[in-house]
A = this chain, B = another copy of it.
Amino acid sequence: MGEFDLIRRYFTRPTPQAVLGVGDDCALLQPRPGMQLAISSDMLVEGRHFLSTVSPAALGHKALAVNLSDLAACGARPLAFTLALALPRADEAWLEPFSQGLLALADAHGCELVGGDTTRGPLNICITVFGEVPPGQALLRSGARAGDDLYVSGTLGDARLALEVFRGTVSLPEAIFAQARARLETPTPRVALGLALRGVASAAADISDGLLGDLGHILRASGVGAVVDTSIAMQLIATPAEDICAGGLFSLEKLLDYILAGGDDYELVFTAPASARAAVQAAAAQAQTRVTRIGCIEPAAGTPAVRLVDGNGVALARQFSGFDHFA
């Protein structure tokens, strides 16, 4: 199978919204009058963003999910994406499920595959996604203000827990592991929540490198600090603590590491004025997505920008840092 057959068979589909899809030098989009275009690009490399053991269908899902998560963090509605793919070889047994996993998630979000590139090389998946947002309504990292509440969506830490099972540092009962593994391999981008938070949240980011790392981006961009109640954060992991600790390899302290700095969560961290608590809950209900208030924003007060406290407001001594591909 040649390059162009491969593109035709697996990656060429009708594009009812786009003016022109796969098959010319460029794709053509006609933005709706007045709308801004939100753009994000993520590159996935084997061994860093996914394990060689992941199923091609899950990988197709995840490659688009991490990009949709960036649109969600901006409150943008998905429109279209391009896929650039380097493959060691044109393997139909891989391409078929990969494209199915990818396009199923694309269809679920009305996000059209409009173009891209394929080449031979070490496996590398680069997706660039396009969304639309009315001018001035994009959720930015820079809007957090002292006194705002601090929230996260969904659950945190389960993806890292699954990764640690693969690494052999933790063991879990099979059914429990399957759930954590799904969080690692097929994350759910919080697109509906991002849309519902337009005009409600003051700042937002997606959690890809760990809560503290991505919260740090908001704090730096906004020139503020934050306090996080770890007694609430501890409850954000979906996997039951008794199952995690049953293997004897684990401590609750390590669990907090995974929740605060585990990575690969693809939830949203966001802020909103205290006056907007009802609106935040309404947005969560509309998006059918759990939202938890974990702390609040403070005036900037040095390093670290995040103060971790226990349920009594007493500071924790421990330090955490987000994921850095080159650190």
Contact = CB atoms under 8 A, between A and B. Distances in A.
Interface stretch (A115-123, A224-232, A240-248): A115-123
A80 B38 CA distance: 12
A2 B322 CA distance: 11
A24 B140 contact: yes
Interface of A: 1-4, 6, 19-20, 23-31, 33-43, 45-49, 70-71, 73-74, 76, 80, 82-87, 89-90, 114-122, 124, 126, 128, 130-131, 133, 135, 138, 140-142, 204-206, 221, 324-327
A124 B86 contact: yes
B90 A326 contact: yes
Contacts of A128: 39, 41, 82, 84, 128
Contacts of A45: 86, 119-122, 124
B29 A37 contact: yes
Contact of A40 (B3, B26, B89): B26
A28 B19 contact: no
B27 A40 contact: yes
B40 A324 contact: no
B39 A25 contact: no
Contact of A3 (B19, B24, B80, B324): B324
21 contacts: A1-B326, A2-B327, A3-B324, A3-B325, A23-B221, A25-B204, A28-B37, A30-B135, A31-B31, A33-B34, A41-B82, A41-B83, A41-B128, A43-B86, A43-B124, A45-B121, A45-B124, A48-B120, A48-B121, A118-B326, A128-B128
Contacts of A142: 24
Contacts of A28: 36-39, 74, 133, 138
Contact of A124 (B42, B83, B122): B122
Contacts of A19: 36, 135
Contacts of A83: 41
Contacts of A84: 41-43, 126, 128
A83 to B, nearest CB: 8
A255 B20 CA distance: 37
Contacts of A118: 325-326
Contacts of A2: 324, 326-327
A133 B85 CA distance: 27
Contacts of A70: 25-26
Contacts of A85: 43
A307 to B, nearest CB: 22
A44 to B, nearest CB: 8
Contacts of A33: 33-34
Contacts of A35: 31
A224 to B, nearest CB: 16
Given A76-B26, A90-B326, A121 B119 contact: no
Contacts of A43: 84-86, 117, 119, 121, 124, 126
A135 B24 CA distance: 16
A251 B20 CA distance: 43
